[in-house]
C-alpha cells in the first residue's frame, strides 16, 4: 500500500485514520500517496494555532516575520527539483507549467519578504495621519492596523498546490496571523511536502503553519469571530460556505475566488497585418494551453471584430496544430494532462455543453497522444469553438470549461463619430460574464487602451492592456503578479488578494485610537502603512 501522508497540526505530525484517498499519476494512473484527515482533533489544532502560533507571530516585528519569509524562500529554492518531480507525477504538468506554480509561489514569497522588511521593527501600522477632534488640537484620532487575533484557514483549489499556498500564506504570516492550509485532495502532495520542509527547518514558531490533507469536514465549525477564511473553488461551493454560521452569525471574514469567464478583446485597429493582432493570437493560444487551461485566469472568451473573425480563427488553428499533447516527461510535449480523470470527465462534459450553441472550429484530439495511453491518461487536446451570434448565446457567457477550451465570437465595431468606443459591443459581451478576474485588450494605440481599460474596470479585478510597446515586458494575461490585485467582482467571488501591501488588510483590524495628541505621538510601536 502507498505511503499515507501525515497532517501537521498542533505542532505535531498526525496520521489520519482509515485507508484515506489515493492520489494518482494522471498520465499513467499509478498510485502515488494517500491522504486522510479522519479522526483529527480539530478543536485542539485550531486552538493551538491561535494561542501558540498566533502569540508567537505577534511577538515578532514585521521585519522579523519578513526575515522568516526570506528563510522559507531560500529553503524552497534549494529543493525545487524535488517539487518539480512531485508536480510532474501528481499534476501531469510539463516543466514550464510546473514553474508557473512552483517558481510563482517562491517569487510571491520573496516579494512579500522584501515588502515586510520595509515596514521595520514595529508591531502595528498607522493608517494615514492623525486628525484633530478639538479646536485646540489637544484631542486627536489616529487609525491603526493590528493583526487579527485569530487563525487564517485556506481552502485551496487543485490547480496551484504551491502558488495557491504561498500567495495566501505570505501576507498572512507577514501580518502575524497563523495559517492552516487545506489543499485540494487531488494534488495535496506538493503542498504537504513544502509545509513539511518548512516545519523540519524550524523557520516558523510552532503553530504558525499547519496542513490538513483529506476531507474538509468540520473545518468551518472551528471558525471563530476573529478568524479569516480564504476559499478558491467553484461558485456553487462558495455559496454554501457563505451560509455557514461562522460568517452569518459570528462575523468571521470570508474571501472568495470563484468561477470566471475571462475575456480577451482584439481592438478594432488591431487588423491582421499589425503587431497587436499577433500578440492577441499568441496570448489566446498560451492561455488555452498553459497548465492545460487549468487556470482561474485563463482566457475563455475571445471577442474580435466581425471583419477579422476568419483571420483570427485561421491564425489560432495554425498555432494550436503545433501543440503536442501527452506525457510531460517527453521533451517534445508542449501540454501535459489535466490533474485527474475526474477533471477529464468534467471537461468533456463542458465541451459537450458548449456544442449545443457553438461550432467546433478546431479539435486537436485527432492527433495521437505522445507517450500516453488515451484510455488511462487525463489528457485532452485543445478545443476551439466559435459562436457567430454572441448576443443570443447563453452558454458562452455561463459555462466555464476548466481545460484547454476557448470560444471566439465576433463583435460589431461601433462608429466612433458619436463618441462611443469602437469596442462598446465587446465590452457589453465581456460584462455578460457577470464579473471576471481579468480581461485583456490588444491595440496598437496605447491611449485607446487606457480609455478601454476604464470601461472594463468596473466588472473585472484586473485589466491587462497590451500594445506593441510592451510586447517584451508584459507579464501575460493569466499570470497573477503579487504587485497586482487578484480577485474579481460578482461571479468571480467578490474577493481580493495580493495587490502589494493591500493584501495585509484582510489579516488586520482597523481601529481608531482617540486620545491626547501626546498619547498619539507616543504610539512608537507603529509605522505608517506605505503606499501599496
208-216-69 Cα angle (round to 5): 25
Strand blocks (E) in 319-373: 359-363
Cell (9 digits) for 465: 492592456
CB distance 344 to 380 below 8 Å: yes
- How far apart, in whole angstroms, are the C-alpha atoms of residue 389 and residue 109? 44
CB distance 131 to 87 below 8 Å: no
Residues 6+ apart with CB under 8 A from 399: 350, 353, 354
254-258-261 Cα angle (round to 5): 150
Closest CA to 164 of 90, 219, 89, 231: 231
411: enclosing H helix or E strand: strand 405-411
CB distance 183 to 156 below 8 Å: yes
- How far apart, in whole angstroms, are the C-alpha atoms of residue 294 and residue 287? 9
397: enclosing H helix or E strand: helix 395-398
- How far apart, in whole angstroms, are the C-alpha atoms of residue 308 and residue 310? 6
Closest CA to 274 of 121, 109, 469, 430: 469
Catalytic residue among 167, 257, 400, 496: 257
267 is catalytic: no
- Cα 38 to Cα 14, 35, 45, 220: the distances in Å are 10, 9, 13, 15
51 is catalytic: no
φ, ψ for residue 449 (rounded to 5)?
-60, -40
Cell (9 digits) for 361: 472550429
- How far apart, in whole angstroms, are the C-alpha atoms of residue 81 and residue 156? 23
Closest CA to 263 of 396, 358, 444: 396
Catalytic residue among 283, 296, 496, 497: 296
CB distance 281 to 312 below 8 Å: yes
In the 3-class helix/strand/coil scheme, how is 225-250 assigned residue by residue?
A: CCCEEEEECCHHHHHHHHCCHHHHCC
Question: In residues, how long is the chain?
Answer: 532
Helices (DSSP H) in 120-261: which residue ranges?
A: 163-175, 188-201, 235-242, 245-248
Q: Parallel, antiparallel, or unpaired: how do β-strands 495-498 and 179-182 relate?
A: unpaired
Active site residue ranges:
257, 296
Amino acid at each position: 500500500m502507498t505511503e499515507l501522508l501525515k497532517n501537521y497540526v498542533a505542532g505535531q505530525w498526525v496520521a489520519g485514520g482509515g485507508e484515506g484517498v489515493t492520489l494518482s499519476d494522471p498520465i499513467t494512473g499509478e498510485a502515488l500517496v494517500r491522504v486522510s484527515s479522519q479522526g483529527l482533533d480539530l478543536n485542539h489544532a485550531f486552538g493551538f494555532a491561535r494561542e501558540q502560533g498566533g502569540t508567537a507571530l505577534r511577538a515578532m516585528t514585521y521585519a522579523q516575520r519578513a526575515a522568516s519569509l526570506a528563510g522559507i524562500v531560500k529553503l524552497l529554492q534549494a529543493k525545487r527539483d524535488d517539487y518539480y518531480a512531485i508536480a510532474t507525477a501528481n499534476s501531469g504538468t510539463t516543466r514550464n507549467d510546473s514553474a508557473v506554480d512552483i517558481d510563482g509561489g517562491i517569487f510571491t514569497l520573496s516579494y512579500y519578504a522584501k515588502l515586510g522588511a520595509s515596514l521595520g521593527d514595529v508591531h502595528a501600522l498607522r493608517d494615514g495621519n492623525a486628525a484633530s477632534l478639538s479646536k485646540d488640537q489637544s484631542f486627536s484620532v489616529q487609525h491603526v492596523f493590528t493583526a487579527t487575533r485569530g487563525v487564517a484557514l485556506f481552502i485551496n483549489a487543485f490547480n496551484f498546490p504551491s502558488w495557491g499556498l504561498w500567495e495566501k500564506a505570505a501576507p498572512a504570516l507577514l501580518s502575524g496571523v497563523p495559517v492552516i492550509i487545506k489543499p485540494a485532495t487531488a494534488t495535496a502532495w506538493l503542498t504537504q511536502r513544502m509545509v513539511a520542509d518548512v516545519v523540519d527547518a524550524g523557520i516558523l514558531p510552532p503553530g504558525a503553519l499547519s496542513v490538513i490533507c483529506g476531507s474538509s469536514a468540520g473545518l468551518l465549525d472551528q471558525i471563530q469571530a476573529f478568524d479569516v477564511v480564504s476559499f478558491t473553488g467553484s461558485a456553487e461551493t462558495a455559496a454554501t460556505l457563505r451560509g455557514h454560521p461562522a460568517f452569518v452569525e459570528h462575523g468571521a471574514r470570508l474571501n472568495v475566488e470563484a468561477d470566471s469567464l475571462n475575456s480577451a478583446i482584439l481592438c478594432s485597429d488591431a487588423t491582421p497585418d499589425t503587431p497587436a493582432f499577433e500578440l492577441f493570437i499568441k496570448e489566446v493560444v498560451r492561455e488555452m494551453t498553459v497548465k492545460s487551461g487549468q487556470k482561474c485566469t485563463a482566457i475563455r472568451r475571445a471577442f474580435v471584430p466581425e471583419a477579422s473573425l476568419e483571420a483570427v480563427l485561421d491564425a489560432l488553428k495554425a498555432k494550436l496544430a503545433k501543440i503536442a499533447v501527452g506525457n510531460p516527461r517527453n521533451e517534445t510535449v508542449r501540454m501535459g494532462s489535466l490533474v485527474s480523470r475526474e477533471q477529464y470527465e468534467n471537461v468533456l462534459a463542458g465541451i459537450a455543453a458548449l456544442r449545443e450553441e457553438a461550432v467546433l472550429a478546431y479539435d486537436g484530439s485527432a492527433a495521437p497522444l505522445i507517450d500516453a495511453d488515451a484510455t488511462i491518461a487525463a489528457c485532452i487536446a485543445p478545443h476551439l469553438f466559435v459562436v457567430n451570434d454572441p448576443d443570443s448565446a447563453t452558454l458562452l457567457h455561463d459555462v466555464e470549461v476548466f481545460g484547454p477550451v476557448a470560444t471566439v465570437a465576433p463583435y460589431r465595431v461601433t462608429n466612433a463619430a458619436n463618441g462611443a468606443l469602437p469596442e462598446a459591443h465587446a465590452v457589453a459581451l465581456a460584462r455578460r460574464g457577470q464579473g471576471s478576474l481579468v480581461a485583456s485588450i490588444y491595440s496598437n494605440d496605447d491611449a485607446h487602451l487606457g480609455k478601454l481599460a476604464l470601461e472594463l474596470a468596473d466588472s473585472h479585478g484586473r485589466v491587462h492592456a497590451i500594445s506593441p510597446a510592451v510586447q517584451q515586458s508584459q507579464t501575460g494575461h493569466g499570470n497573477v503578479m503579487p504587485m497586482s490585485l487578484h480577485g474579481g467582482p460578482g461571479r468571480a467571488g467578490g474577493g481580493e488578494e495580493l495587490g502589494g501591501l493591500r493584501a495585509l488588510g484582510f489579516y488586520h483590524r482597523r481601529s481608531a485610537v482617540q486620545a491626547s495628541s501626546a498619547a498619539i505621538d507616543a504610539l512608537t510601536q507603529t509605522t505608517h502603512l506605505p503606499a501599496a
